[in-house]
Amino acid sequence: MTKKIVVTGIGASSPLGGTVAETWTALLAGESGARTLPHEWVEKYDLPVKFAAEAKVRPSEVLERVEVKRLDPVSQFAVIASREAWEDAGSPEVEPERLGVDYATGIGGLWSLLDAWDVLREKGPRRVLPMTVPMLMPNAASAAVSMRFEARAFARTVASACASSTESLVNAYEHLQAGLADVVIAGGSESAIHPITMASFASMQALSKRNDSPETASRPYSVDRDGFVMGEGAASLVLETEEHAKARGAKIYAELAGGGVTADSYHITANDPEGRGASRAVALALTAAGASPDDVTHINAHATSTPVGDIAEYAALKVAFGDRVDGIPVSATKGATGHLLGGTGALEAIFTILALQHRQAPPTINLSEQDPEIPLTISGSPMDLGSGDQLAISNSFGFGGHNAVAAFRSV
């Protein structure tokens, strides 16, 4: 029997704010989290892109010193976001063996790995910290969250590039449906604003080069978009069966109605231009939700602000929805947050949930002139979603041809 899976807690640390409330307020106000990077390594390595969307609140401001010392930033952000989500859910009383973690990252403990490499080269092997491997491993964030909340049902990790945390939400949905847990903490984290990644993404012409105007650099769907903006942070959701949530009197934000995960098997970095895999992920999510394309009232698009990527996603949506897609209110929130890579899907899932709750689609900023090849319903101001039942999807697509879509229903 299909169970109803609901969201009872949300938490985030993002380029727009250190909490969900701060982030949502800034998003609706049309603020940008992109800023010129203040680090000396920007000039040291003469990086062609000198800005990014770093998390607005640094982990050292909110975590204990020992947590900062023993965790890579990717895990620090995961703990911060999960702590907020857990408290927001009312700190559920659940047996440890019935509490699971589905967490994601696209890259993992990059800073720990490369800092240790510098130490090895400059000071020798005896100076490499014994905690280096536990800090750099991709499952470290999931492990940190599971230990923080004594989750013993499972602690699973997804690493599917920019689709990672949406895929973790889909996994959590499936794990709850299968009865493997009563409550799951799910989400994703990333902290990869580093000289290596900045140089590599710039080399492949993926990053915007608007060094003179960072706050306007991320421009989804605009004719003059020239690449994405690196982002940083984490977002976490507490998910549980409706039966479990109601039994403990929890507030419910929305229903996670279903999800779809597919692969393009096309190219390591480029989307399938015909959108076959992405459109199939949409269809799978709607099927799981017991819905049709006509039921969808809002879309939070992946929309990274790359010339090719935005067009490819539109092609996929056109396959999934037909001509109706041009009339569905669409938000491209990376214009404000930049691209959090493995953390982006969970953050945008929270935006989707809040859009349903408040009946208000977030604005898409920096849209100077909409690309005529992408005639979606987009606005630089929040859009009213109206009354009645709402069903929204949140899209994530990643290098390697990974596609993940989550469907949410209002309650």
Q: Are strands 391-398 and 402-409 parallel, antiparallel or unpaired?
A: antiparallel
- 175, 244, 302, 402: the active-site residue: 302
CB-based contacts of 1, cutoff 8 Å, min separation 6 = none
Q: How far is Cα 401 from Cα 408, in angstroms, rounded to an integer?
A: 23
**Alpha-carbon dihedral sign for residues 378, 298, 10, 284:** negative
DSSP 107: S
Residue 339 is among the residues annotated as catalytic for this protein? yes
Task: Give which of 306, 131, 122 is closest to 202, Cα–Cα.
Answer: 306
Give one word for 290, left, alpha or beta, with left for phi > 0 and alpha for psi -120 to 50: left
- 39, 162, 175, 402: the active-site residue: 162
Residue 162 is among the residues annotated as catalytic for this protein? yes
Is residue 228 within 8 Å of residue 72, measured between CB atoms? no
Kindly tell me the burial class for residue 145, based on how many C-beta atoms sit within 10 Å of its own C-beta (0-12, 13-18, 19 or more). Answer: buried
Q: How far is Cα 200 from Cα 177, in angstroms, rounded to an integer?
A: 40
Please calculate the CA angle 87-390-305 and round it to the nearest 5 degrees.
80
Q: Are strands 298-300 and 391-398 parallel, antiparallel or unpaired?
A: parallel
- 194, 339, 358, 402: the active-site residue: 339
Q: Just list the catalytic residues.
A: 162, 302, 339
